[in-house]
Amino acid sequence: MLGWGGSARAQETNLALYEAVALQCLAAVPDTARAFVLEAPETMPYLRTALVNRWQAEGRTVFLPGAPGAGGLPGLRYTVETARVAYQKANGGRLARSVTLALRYTFSGADGRLLREARCQDTRTDVIPREALPRVETEAFPETRAEPPAPGWLRRYLEPVVITAATAVGIYLFFTLRSERADDGG
């Protein structure tokens, strides 16, 4: 389990945290294969993109199943077992964020023989400002979103009362002063 802090502007998105866990889990799996076939699920396509980008940056060739030239190559197949974001209340109107990703993968040789099979899970945690939620979640991918806990009684009840009272006093003063100025002939 890893944790880190940072300013609200530097907060990584939940999607980026999922990508970081996938890279940590799978980037080194085809360690000696310079070319291989990647079979990835349709869900969370950004994981496949991050992995392929990493392997291509390392000079590897990645094929999709059934692609020309993919026959007779080793194969890496992964599935997503768990993808979860959770928020809990933290001090000062902040939220403790937890992003968990669990992957199961198999790596087979060119002859189809199973070389490696494993499950990898990691959880990334940090604390973010409540107002950062729209910046860290990605609307297009439901797995990057979670329901935050309801604000505390101070934010829920006291702040609206104070704001309403301040607004009422401001309006009262505005009209009272305006009325007094009109009475003075001003």
**The whole model's pTM is what?**
0.76
What is the per-residue pLDDT for 31?
86
User: From residue 84, how far is each of 18, 25, 170 by CA, in Å?
Assistant: 9, 16, 46
What is the per-residue pLDDT for 3?
42
What is the per-residue pLDDT for 36?
96
What is the per-residue pLDDT for 6?
43
What is the per-residue pLDDT for 4?
43
Q: Which residues of the chain have pLDDT under 50?
A: 1-9
CA–CA gap between residue 44 and residue 66 (Å, rounded): 21
What would the pLDDT profile of 109-137 be if each residue is shown by its tens digit? 999 999 999 999 999 999 999 999 999 99
What is the per-residue pLDDT for 12?
94
